């Protein structure tokens, strides 16, 4: 059965509040994401996150590491990025997460050069995650990644068929990339779906409200999910200066759950 999660706060003092809300409103798990602040995360904090999740009988749906160029041709930059990658792989095991997500790295020279660079860094690490029961997904158009089209992902899947995609339809639409073909042609490779809504006016994002209030075609997305017997996490991302914080964040999470639930059988 499809499970629902949402992106949690990284603040330990506030995490219990997110967990309580999740448990009370039908969410099964929480996602954690880190950018430059990854460097400050400690194993003690990760163990504390796990303890709070366990106290509310919740899963860590996914753990994301973003913005670090794991394939950089600059030795110092790559070394710093790989240090974070290896650290977060261990954190993923502590959290017993279902999915580890990161960017694919970026070098000059087109898709083939980027795939070759990816193969020098990731296969052994992906295998280590798999041995711990954790799948790996790459995110499109996000966080130092060459994966900016279906062609790019298809080239990666030709050599790494066990590595999935974390798809965010709103992010793809914002970059004029059609998101439905990914679900039509490669639904099994969509290891997580982000739920983020966009309202477009005059070609620009005017609002990022609850699911069903904007331009993302959730009914069509679910059609492809059911045609492919898809059963993974859909993770809500409260986003923006209005719906991403304060009281509207809680309303966004409640309204999104209410809207999306109509499609979950």
CA distances from 132 to 98, 100, 114 (A): 10, 11, 27
Q: How far is CA 74 from CA 122, 138, 162, 229, 242, in A?
A: 17, 22, 28, 43, 39
Cα separation, 6 vs 100, in Å, equals 15
State how far the Cα of 174 lies from the Cα of 206, in Å rounded to an integer.
12
pLDDT of res. 202? 95
User: What contacts 260, CB < 8 A, 6 or more positions away?
Assistant: 4, 195, 211, 212, 218, 234
Q: How many whole angstroms from its chain centre is CA 226?
A: 21
Q: For residues 104 and 143, what is the distance between their CA atoms, to the nearest angstrom?
A: 8
Residue ranges of domains in the chain:
3-261
CA angle 148, 171, 246 (to 5 degrees): 145
The pLDDT of residue 152: 98
Strand partners, 194: 235
Rounded Cα–Cα distance for residues 116 and 121 (Å)? 9
d(CA 58, CA 74): 40
* SS3 state at 81: helix
Contact (Cβ atoms closer than 8 angstroms) between residue 19 and residue 56: yes
**Mean pLDDT of residues grouped by 10 in the chain (265 residues)?**
97 97 98 98 98 98 98 98 98 98 97 98 98 96 91 98 98 96 98 98 96 98 98 97 97 98 97
The tokens for 122 are 């990731």
Instruction: Please give the CATH architecture assigned to the domain spanning 3-261.
Output: Alpha-Beta Barrel (3.20)
What angle do the packed helices 150-159 and 110-121 form, to 10 degrees? 40
Distance CA 25, CA 253 (A): 9
pLDDT attached to residue 143: 77
Q: What is the pLDDT of residue 159?
A: 98
């Amino acid at each position: 059965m499809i499970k629902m999660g949402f992106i949690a706060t990284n603040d330990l003092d506030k995490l219990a509040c997110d967990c309580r809300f999740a448990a009370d409103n039908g969410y099964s798990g929480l996602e954690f994401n880190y950018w430059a602040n990854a460097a400050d995360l400690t194993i003690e904090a990760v163990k504390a996150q796990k303890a709070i999740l366990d106290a509310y009988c919740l899963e860590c749906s996914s753990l994301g590491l973003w913005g670090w160029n794991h394939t950089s041709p600059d030795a110092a930059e790559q070394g710093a990025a790989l240090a974070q990658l290896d650290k977060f792989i261990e954190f993923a095991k502590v959290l017993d997460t279902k999915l580890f997500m990161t960017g694919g790295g970026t070098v000059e020279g087109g898709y083939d050069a980027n795939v070759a660079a990816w193969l020098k860094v990731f296969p052994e690490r992906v295998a280590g995650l798999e041995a711990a029961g954790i799948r790996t997904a790459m995110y499109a158009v996000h966080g130092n990644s060459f994966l900016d089209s279906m062609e790019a992902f298809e080239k990666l899947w030709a050599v790494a068929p066990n590595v999935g995609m974390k798809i965010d339809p709103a992010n793809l639409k914002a970059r004029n990339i059609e998101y439905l073909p990914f679900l039509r042609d490669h639904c099994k490779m969509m290891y997580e779906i982000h739920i983020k809504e966009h309202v477009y006016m005059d070609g620009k994002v005017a609002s990022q409200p609850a699911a069903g209030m904007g331009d993302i075609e959730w009914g069509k997305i679910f059609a492809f999910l059911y045609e492919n017997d898809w059963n993974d996490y859909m993770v809500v991302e409260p986003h923006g200066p209005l719906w991403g914080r304060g009281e509207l964040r809680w309303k966004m999470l409640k309204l999104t759950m209410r809207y999306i639930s109509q499609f979950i059988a």
